[in-house]
Chain A
Amino acid sequence: GIQVEQSPPDLILQEGANSTLRCNFSDSVNNLQWFHQNPWGQLINLFYIPSGTKQNGRLSATTVATERYSLLYISSSQTTDSGVYFCAVAADSWGKLQFGAGTQVVVTP
C-alpha cells in the first residue's frame, strides 16, 4: 500500500505563531485529505486537496502531486488549533484512505 509520512511528529507553538506541517506519500494518489482531531477525539475534515492550493480562514493547504507531498499551513495559531493533524491519501476508485501517523500540535497561551 501507499506509505504516508508526516512531519514533524510533534510541534509546540506559542499563540500567534505560524507553522507548516508536511505530508509525503510514496505513490500517485487521486485523493488527499487533511483532518484535525481535537482533544475530545472528534475528527474534522479540513481540506479535500488532491492537487493545488486551498484556503479556509487561517488554514491553507498545498498539494504538489507530481512531487508527492502536501503542506498544511497554520497562521496566527490559537489554542483551539491544538490537537492531532492527519494527512490521508487514496489511489483507488473507492476512496479508501490510508492515514499517516499524524502531527501532534500544542498551542500555548
Chain B
Amino acid sequence: NAGVTQTPKFQVLKTGQSMTLQCAQDMNHNSMYWYRQDPGMGLRLIYYSASEGTTDKGEVPNGYNVSRLNKREFSLRLESAAPSQTSVYFCASSAGQNYGYTFGSGTRLTVV
C-alpha cells in the first residue's frame, strides 16, 4: 500500500527523556514535513525537507531536530521531552510545491 508510514502510533515519555519519531514514504516524493496538532491550535509546521539532503525550520522548531536520512525517510527527534510537547505529530509528503500532501496516520505523544 503506497503512502506515508509513521511509527510509533502511541508513546508515553517522562520529562527529560528522548525519542525519535520515524516517518517513511514510498511515493518517491521530494518534500516531507512534520506537523504537530494541538486542541484549538490547528496544525503547525515544525520542520520540513524540500528535497533529500536539505532541512529547514518551520513555525515551531524549538525542542526538535530532524534528519532526512534518504529520499524515503524523515525522522523527528525530541532530545529532552517536555510536557509542552504533548501533542499529535503528523508526517506528510508531497511531490513538490504544486502537488497535494499525503499524511501519515499520526503519533500520539504524551509527556508526563
Interface residues of A (CB under 8 A from B): 1, 30-31, 33, 35, 41-45, 47-48, 50, 86, 88, 90, 92-102
Can you offer 15 A-B residue contacts whose CB atoms are under 8 A? Answer: A30-B98, A31-B97, A41-B106, A45-B102, A47-B100, A48-B100, A50-B98, A86-B42, A94-B31, A95-B31, A95-B97, A96-B45, A97-B33, A97-B101, A100-B42
Q: Which of B62-112 contact A (CB under 8 A)?
A: 88, 90, 92, 94, 96-103, 105-106
Complex Cα spacing A95 to B44, Å: 13
* Total CB contacts across the A-B interface at under 8 A: 66
Pairwise interchain contact A41-B88, C-beta atoms closer than 8 A: yes
Pairwise interchain contact B58-A96, C-beta atoms closer than 8 A: yes
Pairwise interchain contact B97-A41, C-beta atoms closer than 8 A: no
**Contact-residue size bin, chain B (C-beta under 8 Å from the other chain):** 20 to 34
Complex Cα spacing A41 to B105, Å: 7
A-B CB proximity, top 8 nearest? A48-B100, A43-B103, A99-B43, A99-B42, A95-B97, A45-B100, A94-B50, A101-B42
Complex Cα spacing A100 to B38, Å: 13
Interface residues of B (CB under 8 A from A): 31, 33, 35, 40, 42-45, 48, 50, 56, 58-59, 88, 90, 92, 94, 96-103, 105-106
Q: Which of B59, B96, B103, B106 is within 8 Å of A95, CB to CB?
A: B96
Pairwise interchain contact A31-B98, C-beta atoms closer than 8 A: yes
Tell me how far the C-beta of B15 lies from the nearest C-beta in chain A, rounded to whole angstroms.
Answer: 25
Supplied contacts A42-B106, A45-B102, A93-B50, 16 more A-B pairs, CB within 8 Å: A1-B59, A33-B100, A41-B106, A45-B100, A45-B103, A92-B97, A94-B31, A94-B50, A95-B97, A96-B45, A96-B48, A97-B45, A99-B43, A100-B42, A101-B42, A102-B42
